[in-house]
């Protein structure tokens, strides 16, 4: 039987958090190329404007709204402005996150709070706010949380980060269960080690090369390796998928 599967997000509005670098920039470009209006949020306004200009130069429609997700009091205002300028949000890519390398004994309380406030609290209240709008407008929306293989195994020097991503995994399942009857799909992408502008220098070092040699396929991923999964989960083809954690790690969890 012949099939013709394509991803068309025309008429959709996608809000992407952490859209100033790395995955967030890539996600915004991919969703825009598929036809969605994209709302870019992040802490660095000059970077948001640069990403917005690049998307518009490629023929897309983008709105840039500065936001630090740890300032949860500002999330509602940001979502209000996003809907005013780009229409009702039907896709949320909850991408804002960070890690702080440290041993357990050396991690400072301030750094612990920064990790948890960004990776868990900010993500929860952004999904809560957008999910409530989807419920109110009866939108069969898509929420994609960005977790990590750290949700399934403790990564060396990143215990608190791994804890936060395990929380994201359970958050995803809990929200998916609560909103299933409303046809709001909530899923998570759990990437392995992928080269971005934030870690590319590390992977060129002797230590980084040694780490790569410990992976089953002795290679590190690229941002484009997440494209297909993201597009699937944001599209109508994901009608039967919710509460799922998609591990994209080239087998790194197998070690």
State the pLDDT at residue 4.
66
Catalytic, 112? Answer: no
250-254, long-range: CB within 8 Å, 24+ apart, which pairs?
250/192, 250/215, 250/216, 250/217, 250/219, 250/221, 250/225, 251/215, 251/216, 251/217, 252/149, 252/192, 252/193, 252/215, 252/216, 253/149, 253/152, 253/153, 253/192, 254/216
State the pLDDT at residue 200.
80
Report the C-alpha gap between 31 and 5 in whole angstroms.
16
* Residue count of the chain: 255
Report the C-alpha gap between 152 and 169 in whole angstroms.
9
How many structural domains comprise the chain? 1
> Is residue 3 situated within a structural domain?
no
State the pLDDT at residue 6.
86
> Is residue 139 situated within a structural domain?
yes
Q: What is the pLDDT of residues 89-134, one digit of tens each?
A: 999 999 999 999 999 999 999 999 999 999 999 999 999 999 999 9
Report the C-alpha gap between 151 and 13 in whole angstroms.
28
| Cα dihedral across residues 42, 185, 87, 230: positive or negative | positive
> Is residue 206 situated within a structural domain?
yes
State the pLDDT at residue 150.
97
Report which of residues 199 and 45 the model is more confident about: 45
pLDDT at 151 over 90: yes
> Is residue 229 situated within a structural domain?
yes
> Is residue 177 situated within a structural domain?
yes
Average pLDDT, the chain: 95
> Is residue 66 situated within a structural domain?
yes
> Is residue 92 situated within a structural domain?
yes
Range of the domain at 228: 13-247
| CATH code for the domain in which residue 93 is found | 3.40.50.720
pLDDT at 1 over 70: no
| Cα dihedral across residues 180, 186, 230, 69: positive or negative | positive
The active-site residue out of 27, 161, 179, 193 is 161
| Cα dihedral across residues 199, 158, 122, 43: positive or negative | negative
> Is residue 20 situated within a structural domain?
yes
What average pLDDT score do residues 213-219 get?
93
State the pLDDT at residue 204.
87
């Amino acid at each position: 039987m012949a099939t013709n599967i394509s991803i068309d997000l025309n008429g959709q509005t996608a809000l992407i958090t952490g859209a100033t670098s790395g995955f967030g920039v890539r996600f915004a470009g991919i969703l825009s190329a598929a036809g969605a209006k994209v709302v870019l949020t992040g802490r660095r306004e000059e970077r948001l404007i640069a990403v917005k200009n690049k998307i518009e130069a490629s023929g897309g429609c983008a709105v840039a709204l500065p936001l630090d997700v740890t300032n949860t009091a500002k999330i509602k205002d940001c979502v209000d402005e996003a809907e005013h300028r780009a229409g009702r949000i039907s896709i949320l890519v909850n991408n804002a996150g960070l890690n702080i390398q440290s041993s357990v004994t050396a991690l400072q309380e301030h750094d612990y709070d920064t990790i948890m406030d960004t990776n868990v609290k900010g993500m929860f209240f952004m999904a809560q706010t957008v999910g409530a709008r989807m419920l109110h407008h009866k939108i069969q929306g898509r929420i994609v949380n960005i977790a990590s293989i750290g949700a399934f195994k403790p990564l060396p020097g990143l215990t608190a980060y791994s804890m936060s991503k395990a929380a994201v995994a359970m958050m995803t399942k809990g929200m998916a269960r609560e909103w299933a009857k409303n046809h709001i799909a909530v899923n998570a992408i759990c990437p392995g080690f992928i080269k971005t502008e934030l870690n590319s220098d590390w992977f060129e070092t002797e230590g980084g090369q040694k780490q790569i040699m410990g992976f089953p396929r002795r290679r590190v991923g690229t941002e484009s390796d997440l494209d297909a999964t993201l597009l699937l989960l944001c599209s109508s083809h994901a009608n039967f998928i919710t509460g799922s954690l998609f591990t994209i790690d080239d087998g790194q969890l197998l070690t």
